[in-house]
Every structure is written in C-alpha cells, then in structure tokens.
Amino acid sequence: MSPAGQGGLFLLQFLSGLVIFALLLRFFMRAAYIDWRHPVVNFIAKVTNPLCAPINQLLPKPNRWDWSALITAALIQVILVLIIGWLTERQFGIPVIVISAVTEIMNQLLDMMFWLIIIQVILSWVSPTYNPNTAIFFKLAEPILKPFQRLIPPMGGLDLSPIAAIVAIKLTQIIVVGSIAQYGQRLVS
C-alpha cells in the first residue's frame, strides 16, 4: 500500500475510533445514570443521536442500557473492517468480520473501563472534595467498581478494589478477547 493509502487508512481508523469512542461513552453514561443536562453528556448525546436514531426506532425505548449505541458502534466497526479489506485487497468472510468487530468493541469497552478507573483513582487523590466537573468520572467508574468493593471492603481507609478491577479487566482482555481474536486469526489463515 502506498504512503498516501496508509495515511488515508490511518485517518479513517482515527475518525471511526473517535465516533466509536463517543458511542461507547454514551453507553457508559446511560448505564451510570449520568445527568443528561451535564455539558459533556449533552455534547455526547447531540453528537451520537443522529447515529443512534435509526437503531432506536427498531429497539424499545432505551432505559439503563443504551443498546443502540453498542449496535451502532459494532456496525461502524463492521464497515471499517470491510473498507480495510477493500483497501488492502483482501477478502474477509462474514465470521472474520463479525469476530473482528466484536473483539474490537470489547477491547475498546474494556480499555474505557480501565481508563475510567485510573482517572477516578487519580482524581480521588488530587481532588478528594466534590467538584461537578470531576464528579462525572466517579459516577462512570462506580458501576465498574461496585462489585469489587463488595468483595474487597476498604482496609484502613484504603480502597483496593480499583486494583482488583484493573486486574480483572486486563485478564478479560488477555484471556477472553485474546482467545476470540486468536480464533478469528485462524479463520483468516
């Protein structure tokens, strides 16, 4: 592939990654019951509403789980895989396309969870008092950390649940997502 083609492919992957990031953030915000009047949430909603509208017409009214955001992200990833196949002159079968899209969305979701926990931990050290601008990170990380906080209660005022959550997230990426991706790779070969 020519340098111009590689640059175009990079730009395509970058832009689709931003759109998928916004859709996954929308999914997390709805799951965490973030106030939709918050400026960041309002921006994400306005940016992603046109993309999610067609899927929302097919699905029941969204509640805590905004499935239209996940489905739209997966569809964009499928289109990206098809375009990459076309640009690189490779033919991918339907199972490879689906596996590629699913593993990429799973990886991005798990990466987002990882970074939400890291940001929340850093903010708890830097800004321990309530701040409306940073509170959104605490609200987003709360549903991820809650199960781990039940398993590992705070010890001596120290919350070790983020460490357990990060280990679980990374193990899931390595074992579960890695196994699915490896299976997809065998289908290509």
What is the residue-averaged pLDDT of the chain? 87
pLDDT tens digits, 79-113: 998 888 888 878 888 888 899 899 999 999 999 99
* All structural domains of the chain with their residue ranges: 1-91, 92-189
3 — pLDDT class (breaks 50, 70, 90)? confident
What's the start-to-end Cα distance of the chain, in Å?
20
> How many Å apart are CA 143 and CA 43, to the nearest integer?
22
Looking at the DSSP bridge assignments, the partners of residue 155 are: 158
Q: Give yes or no for residue 189 having a pLDDT over 70.
A: no
Closest of 86, 25, 32, 82 to residue 51, by C-alpha: 25
pLDDT tens digits, 24-77: 999 988 888 888 888 888 899 899 999 988 888 888 776 778 888 999 999 999
Give percent of the chain above pLDDT 70: 98
The 8-class DSSP code of residue 177 comes to I
> What is the pTM assigned to this prediction?
0.84
148 — pLDDT class (breaks 50, 70, 90)? very high
CB–CB of 120/137 below 8 Å? yes
> How many Å apart are CA 187 and CA 189, to the nearest integer?
6
pLDDT the model gives residue 113 = 93
pLDDT tens digits, 127-142: 777 777 788 888 889 8
Q: Provide the CB-side half-sphere exposure for 127 (13 A, CA).
A: 12
